[in-house]
Structure 1
Amino acid sequence: MHLGLRLLFGFFVITGLAAYFVLRVFLAEVQPSVREVAEDILVDAAHLLAEGAGAELAAMPAGGTLAGGAFAASVERYRARPVDAQIWGLHKRSLDFRVYVTDAEGRVVFDGGDTPATGADYSRWRDVARTLRGEYGARATREVQHDERTSVLYVAAPVQHGGRTIGVLTVAKPVRTIQQFIDRAERKILVAGAWLLGLSLAVGVGVTLWTVHSVRTLRRYAQQARAGERQAVPALPGELGELAQAMAAMRDRLEDRGHVEQAMRALTHELKSPLAAIGGAAELLHDALPDADREAFARQIGEQVQRLRELVDRLLELSKLESLRAPAEQQPVSLLALADALLAEQAAALRQRAVTIEWRQRDAASVPGDAEQLRLALSNLLANALGFAPPGSTLAWSVAADANEVTIGLRDHGPGVADYALPQLGQRFFSTPRVADGRKGSGLGLAIVRQIVLLHRGRLRFEPAQPGLQVWLTLPR
Structure 2
Amino acid sequence: MRIRTAIFGVYVIASAIGLAALMALVLRDVRLRYVESMRRTLGDTAAYMAAFAAPESKGEDWTKKFTVLPKRAEMLRVFACDQFGRVTYDSAGHDEGKIYEWSLRGGGRAASEDYQVSNVAIVDGELRVASRVMFSGEHLGWVGVGRPLAAVEDGVKRARWRLVFMGGVIAGFMVVAGWWIAAQLTRSLERLTVYARTVRDGRAAAPIQSRAKEIAELSQAFEEMRDALEGRQHVERYTQVLAHEVKAPLAAIRGAAELLDESMPEAQRKKFMANIRNESARIQQIVERLLELSSLEARKALRQTEAIEPGALVREVADTMRPAYEASRVTLTAEDRADRALVRGERVLLREALVNLLQNALDFSPQNGVVTLRSALVNGHVSFVVEDHGPGVPDYAQARVFERFYSLPRPASGKKSTGLGLALVREIAHLHGGEVKLENRAEGGARATLTLPV
Shared topology, TM-score over 0.5? yes
Q: Are 2:382 and 2:453, in contact at CA under 8 Å, matched by a contact in 1?
A: yes
Q: 1:191: Cα distance to partner? A: 3.8
Aligned letter for 2:120? R
Equivalent positions of 1:101-180 (< 5 A) are: 101-103=81-83, 110-117=89-96, 125-127=102-104, 137-143=118-124, 150-161=125-136, 164-174=137-147, 175-180=149-154
Which position in structure 2 is the counterpart of 1:431? 407
Decide which of 375, 380, 385 is 1:409's aligned counterpart: 385
Q: 1:431: Cα distance to partner? A: 0.6
| 1:380-407 C-alpha deviation (Å, 9 max, x unpaired) | 2233233334455443333334573333
CA 52–445 in structure 1, closer or farther in 2 if over 3 Å, else same:
same
Distance 1:192 1:25 in 2: 15
Aligned letter for 1:429? F
Which position in structure 2 is the counterpart of 1:333? 308
For structure 2, which runs of at least 5 residues remain unmatched after alignment?
106-115
CA 18–432 in structure 1, closer or farther in 2 if over 3 Å, else same:
same
Distance 1:40 1:294 in 2: 125
Equivalent positions of 1:180-329 (< 5 A) are: 180-204=154-178, 222=196, 226=200, 238=212, 247=222, 250=225, 253-254=228-229, 257-287=232-262, 295-329=270-304
Q: 1:14: Cα distance to partner? A: 1.3
Aligned letter for 2:144? V
CA 248–356 in structure 1, closer or farther in 2 if over 3 Å, else same:
same
Q: 1:196: Cα distance to partner? A: 3.8
Q: 1:109: Cα distance to partner? A: 5.3
CA 36–299 in structure 1, closer or farther in 2 if over 3 Å, else same:
same
CA 224–327 in structure 1, closer or farther in 2 if over 3 Å, else same:
closer
Q: 1:21: Cα distance to partner? A: 1.1
Q: 1:316: Cα distance to partner? A: 1.6
Decide which of 95, 107, 114 is 2:75's aligned counterpart: 95
**Which deviates further from its counterpart, 405-414 or 12-21?**
405-414
Q: Are 2:128 and 2:145, in contact at CA under 8 Å, matched by a contact in 1?
A: yes
Aligned letter for 1:271? V
CA 299–181 in structure 1, closer or farther in 2 if over 3 Å, else same:
same
Aligned letter for 2:448? V
Q: Identical aligned pairs, as a percentage?
A: 30
| 1:223-266 C-alpha deviation (Å, 9 max, x unpaired) | 56556666777888846676566556645654554454433332
Distance 1:392 1:182 in 2: 95
Decide which of 348, 352, 362 is 1:386's aligned counterpart: 362
Q: Are 2:290 and 2:420, in contact at CA under 8 Å, matched by a contact in 1?
A: yes
Q: 1:140: Cα distance to partner? A: 0.8
CA 40–285 in structure 1, closer or farther in 2 if over 3 Å, else same:
same
Decide which of 62, 65, 69 is 1:66's aligned counterpart: 62
CA 260–157 in structure 1, closer or farther in 2 if over 3 Å, else same:
farther
Q: 1:158: Cα distance to partner? A: 4.5
Q: 1:168: Cα distance to partner? A: 3.7
Q: 1:345: Cα distance to partner? A: 3.7
Q: 1:374: Cα distance to partner? A: 0.7
Distance 2:290 2:268 in 1: 33
Distance 1:53 1:315 in 2: 114
Aligned letter for 1:336? G
CA 338–114 in structure 1, closer or farther in 2 if over 3 Å, else same:
same
Which position in structure 2 is the counterpart of 1:446? 422
CA 95–445 in structure 1, closer or farther in 2 if over 3 Å, else same:
same
Q: Are 1:233 and 1:244, in contact at CA under 8 Å, matched by a contact in 2?
A: yes
Q: Are 2:104 and 2:118, in contact at CA under 8 Å, matched by a contact in 1?
A: yes
SS of residue in 1 equivalent to 2:131:
strand
Q: Are 1:96 and 1:177, in contact at CA under 8 Å, matched by a contact in 2?
A: no
Q: 1:26: Cα distance to partner? A: 1.2
For structure 1, which runs of at least 5 residues remain unmatched after alignment?
81-92, 129-134, 144-149
Q: 1:200: Cα distance to partner? A: 3.7
CA 367–227 in structure 1, closer or farther in 2 if over 3 Å, else same:
closer
Distance 1:464 1:203 in 2: 51
**Which deviates further from its counterpart, 296-305 or 16-25?**
296-305
Figure out how many residues of one structure are paired with residues of the other and give that number.
440
Q: Are 1:335 and 1:399, in contact at CA under 8 Å, matched by a contact in 2?
A: yes
Distance 1:201 1:363 in 2: 46
Q: Are 2:49 and 2:143, in contact at CA under 8 Å, matched by a contact in 1?
A: no
**Which deviates further from its counterpart, 347-356 or 314-323?**
347-356
SS of residue in 1 equivalent to 2:36:
helix
Q: Are 1:453 and 1:460, in contact at CA under 8 Å, matched by a contact in 2?
A: yes
Distance 1:112 1:424 in 2: 105
Q: 1:453: Cα distance to partner? A: 1.7
Distance 2:222 2:158 in 1: 57
SS of residue in 2 equivalent to 1:95:
coil
Q: Are 2:314 and 2:374, in contact at CA under 8 Å, matched by a contact in 1?
A: no
CA 215–283 in structure 1, closer or farther in 2 if over 3 Å, else same:
same
| 1:308-355 C-alpha deviation (Å, 9 max, x unpaired) | 222122112112222233432332223333343334344543443333
Aligned letter for 1:28? R
SS of residue in 2 equivalent to 1:155:
strand
Structure 1 position 475 matched with structure 2 position 446: no
Distance 2:417 2:322 in 1: 22
- For the pair shown, the structure with the greater C-alpha radius of gyration is 1
